[in-house]
Structure 1
Amino acid sequence: MTFQQLLTDTALAFVMLGVAFWPLEWAFSARVGQRILRPAWGVDFAFFLGQYFVWAPLSVLAIMVARPLLQPEALAGLRAAVALQPTWLQVVEATVLCDLCVYGWHRLCHEVDWLWRFHAVHHSVEHLDWMAAHREHPLDGLTTQFVCNLPAFVLGIPLGPLTMVAAFRGMWAIFIHSNVRLPLGPLGFLFGAPELHHWHHARVEQTRHNFANLAPYMDWLFGTYHRPTGEERWALGLAEPFPRGYLAQLFLPLRDLVFPGRKAQERTQPS
């Protein structure tokens, strides 16, 4: 892909997402009065550009390189059996296993210190909207995508049938960060609603709820489900000091790994 094509695709993605989400955020605001150009919008825009220009293409490349390594000969019989299943069943299996893996990984990112250092970048956002969804450390994003695709790779499920599911999951991940209060009724048990994930971003000492961003039934199964009521007035972000610049947020977790004596063990892990 040429730089010009990458630039065109990034600009098109920005316009399409803005057209899709800005009207929703205006009509169904979770936090009425929040401006489009709210504080730190520029930082999240830098994360948006970084993802589309650099990190997402590199993540796709890394995942495709790793795919053959995750198909051991010992599981060839299992993959052959899965290949005989109808496509719809393969997609359902891959989706449910993906939801389970992502739930477990996300929960670990909150409970294991060296994983939290990277995931904390995402939780440093203090104003949620569709742009805030892109604030994510590239290593956090890469490992999450790797975990999400792991079941399909191991089972040998072709990526083609999963393309639409992946696109839907990507859009839904942006939706649950948007400044929207739009309860989904019974569908909220299968598809995460924004208020669930907004609560997950609450500035508390340690979150215990809503780790399954896109599959609330996983939280229900493991006892971590909570649906907040009333207006969204809780503070968002981290309970600890955190750098605000794009590059500083990228390098802080790496610095903590290189200089473990500086890691903030005294930090309490916020949501």
Structure 2
Amino acid sequence: MHKIKTYLQKHGHAPFIFGEGRISGYIGAALGLLSLLAVFCFLLPEWLTTSELREVYDEQFARSLLLLGLILSFSLGTLNIMLNGHKRLGVTAIVASGLAMVLGGTDIQVDAIGKTPYSLGLDWFVLALLISAAVFIPLEKLYAKDPEQNILRPHWRTDLGYFFVSHMLVQFILIFITASSNFMAGWAVSPNLQESVQSLPMVVQFFLAVLVADLGQYWLHRLYHVVPWLWRVHAVHHSSTAMDWLAGSRVHFVEILLTRTGVLVPLMLLGFAAPALNAYVVLVGIQAVLAHANMRVNAGWLEFILVLPRYHHWHHARHADYIYKNYAIHLPLIDMVFGTFKLPVKDWPARYGVFGKPLPDGIVRQHGYPFRKPVSESSKP
């Protein structure tokens, strides 16, 4: 039994127990590594941070957050070494935070930030991971749909890899979307239509943007499930056998480009004002994480108006009756209109994943999966 427990702890699958030092170890190591990445952002802001996000936070906020991260990382790493027999997490925390300090820590001076052709969204990854984990991990523990599911459940490293890639390449995605929009603008833009849209009250623009985006995403999502090659791309997202706040990050890069282009280009061409688009992007960010979360939210009538965890969990269910159901991302009304709505009164799915042969493990092999020659036992929606 001791060997089994040791193996589970080593691979991050054992439940957390207060007093063992694993909680402090994981938090300390995570904060230490994120602090080190934040230092790199200070050292190379032109290449590692996005100009759009720098407009949202100021330098002093970033320095204060970095200081807090360094203090907590060193303290929690020390606590892990004192309490836990496996000290690699504590050592990782101390080494990472120490290296961050050696490189300059919060004292790094940032001069005028120059412009570069492109940059990696390292600051976006650090902030998004911090905020998402801080909000959803406690909520999933308080309102767990599956209380037995561990925070570090199997394949969490794979999903963290997807989270990293999608946030790091955010500017490349925006460049692709902008290029697509500019390509279509010459023949698809109607100045009169754009003026009409922009004349609407901002609240109306927001709700209209949600409706337009969900209509486009609904049909694209439906195509993912019925076109064989598109399904092989989308199957990556459905391959997760556990649902939580991190599972929604498991999306093939081809699907990211197709979906975000298919949704954002129409919104840009219709001329929605920036505040309405920004509000929509915030909704997408929250709902994408919430819909996959391991949270037992029984919201009554609200579940027929907004896509919440139970609704989207059934879309991911390994259940024959739900293979082609619940495509909507924001509004169940879209599924109702097109005949793909299905939601039990109270039940939740028991199993998740694809039918047939499982997909390969790991982000690299999963990205190569759609391009391999399909075999008869390959996964089915």
Choose which of 172, 184, 187 in structure 2 pairs with 1:58: 172
Asked whether the equivalents of residues 152 and 158 of structure 1 are also in contact (C-alpha less than 8 Å), the reply is no
Cα-to-partner distance string for 1:151-188 (whole Å, 9 max, x where unaligned): 31231223342102211221111101010011222222
Asked whether the equivalents of residues 209 and 276 of structure 2 are also in contact (C-alpha less than 8 Å), the reply is no
Cα-to-partner distance string for 1:45-77 (whole Å, 9 max, x where unaligned): 1111111112x2211111112222232456333
Asked whether the equivalents of residues 98 and 148 of structure 1 are also in contact (C-alpha less than 8 Å), the reply is yes
Asked whether the equivalents of residues 196 and 228 of structure 1 are also in contact (C-alpha less than 8 Å), the reply is no
In the TM superposition, residue 247 of structure 1 has moved relative to its aligned partner by: 0.3
Aligned equivalent of 1:208: 324
Asked whether the equivalents of residues 31 and 232 of structure 1 are also in contact (C-alpha less than 8 Å), the reply is no
Write the distance in 2 (CA, Å) between the matches of 1:66 and 1:40: 34
Aligned equivalent of 2:277: 162
Write the distance in 2 (CA, Å) between the matches of 1:82 and 1:164: 16
Write the distance in 2 (CA, Å) between the matches of 1:60 and 1:225: 32
Aligned equivalent of 2:61: none
Write the distance in 1 (CA, Å) between the matches of 2:332 and 2:318: 21
In the TM superposition, residue 150 of structure 1 has moved relative to its aligned partner by: 3.1
Choose which of 249, 254, 257 in structure 2 pairs with 1:139: 254
Choose which of 355, 358, 362 in structure 2 pairs with 1:241: 358
Aligned equivalent of 2:341: 225
Aligned equivalent of 1:96: 211
Write the distance in 2 (CA, Å) between the matches of 1:171 and 1:105: 21
Aligned equivalent of 1:250: 367
Aligned residues: 263
Give structure 1 regions of 4+ aligned residues with deviation exceeding 6 angstroms.
Answer: none
**Does residue 151 in structure 1 map to residue 195 in structure 2?**
no
In the TM superposition, residue 88 of structure 1 has moved relative to its aligned partner by: 3.0
Structure 1: 5+ residue stretches without partners: 257-261
In the TM superposition, residue 189 of structure 1 has moved relative to its aligned partner by: 2.1
Asked whether the equivalents of residues 239 and 358 of structure 2 are also in contact (C-alpha less than 8 Å), the reply is no
* CA distance 1:64–1:12, change in 2 (3 Å): same
Aligned equivalent of 1:37: 152
Structure 1 counterpart of 2:332, which letter?
P
Write the distance in 2 (CA, Å) between the matches of 1:179 and 1:128: 6
Write the distance in 2 (CA, Å) between the matches of 1:211 and 1:73: 30
**Does residue 2 in structure 1 map to residue 46 in structure 2?**
yes
Structure 1 counterpart of 2:336, which letter?
W
145-154 or 76-85, which deviates more: 76-85
Q: Which protein is bigger by CA-based radius of gyration?
A: 2
Asked whether the equivalents of residues 71 and 156 of structure 1 are also in contact (C-alpha less than 8 Å), the reply is no
Structure 2 counterpart of 1:133, which letter?
G
29-38 or 88-97, which deviates more: 88-97
Write the distance in 2 (CA, Å) between the matches of 1:134 and 1:43: 10
Q: Which structure is higher in RCO with an 8 Å CA cutoff and minimum separation 6?
A: 1
Partner of 2:292: helix, strand, or coil?
Answer: coil
Write the distance in 2 (CA, Å) between the matches of 1:152 and 1:230: 35
**Does residue 269 in structure 1 map to residue 380 in structure 2?**
yes
Write the distance in 1 (CA, Å) between the matches of 2:46 and 2:241: 35
Asked whether the equivalents of residues 225 and 324 of structure 2 are also in contact (C-alpha less than 8 Å), the reply is no
* CA distance 1:46–1:73, change in 2 (3 Å): closer
Write the distance in 2 (CA, Å) between the matches of 1:268 and 1:43: 19
Asked whether the equivalents of residues 210 and 330 of structure 2 are also in contact (C-alpha less than 8 Å), the reply is no
Structure 2: 5+ residue stretches without partners: 1-44, 50-120
**Does residue 114 in structure 1 map to residue 229 in structure 2?**
yes
Write the distance in 2 (CA, Å) between the matches of 1:62 and 1:223: 33
* CA distance 1:235–1:101, change in 2 (3 Å): same
Aligned equivalent of 1:259: none
105-114 or 196-205, which deviates more: 196-205
Write the distance in 2 (CA, Å) between the matches of 1:153 and 1:251: 32
In the TM superposition, residue 109 of structure 1 has moved relative to its aligned partner by: 0.4
Partner of 2:150: helix, strand, or coil?
Answer: coil
